Amino acid sequence: MLPFRSEIRNSPSHPTIKIFLSDETLVPRVKKHLEHFEDIEYSEIRKTHGRNREEDNITVFLKDHVDINKLKSSIDSSLWWYFEEDMVE
């Protein structure tokens, strides 16, 4: 099972990136890890609604004029590195 997955949500008012973790105990740690991204306005932990979904997710709000695809790619790369390092320790 993958440690995380991310999705772009294109809302008309404010596009976001949602991050779902397979281990929900890591949600606060990963949220803190995301704080170093300059293109993130803020992130918050939200309850997930829907079937076959994790209970919580991290919703990432972007600063104005940020390319959402580039930021998602950057977040994904960083999280893969984060989980590889965490698994080695």
pTM: 0.86
| 25 membership: H or E segment, kind and range | none
Return the domain boundaries, the chain: 4-88
Q: pLDDT tens digits, residue range 13-61?
A: 889 999 999 998 999 999 999 999 999 999 999 988 766 566 899 999 9
Q: Into which CATH architecture does domain 4-88 fall?
A: 2-Layer Sandwich (3.30)
Report in angstroms the alpha-carbon separations of 47 from 3, 24, 57, 63.
Answer: 18, 11, 6, 23
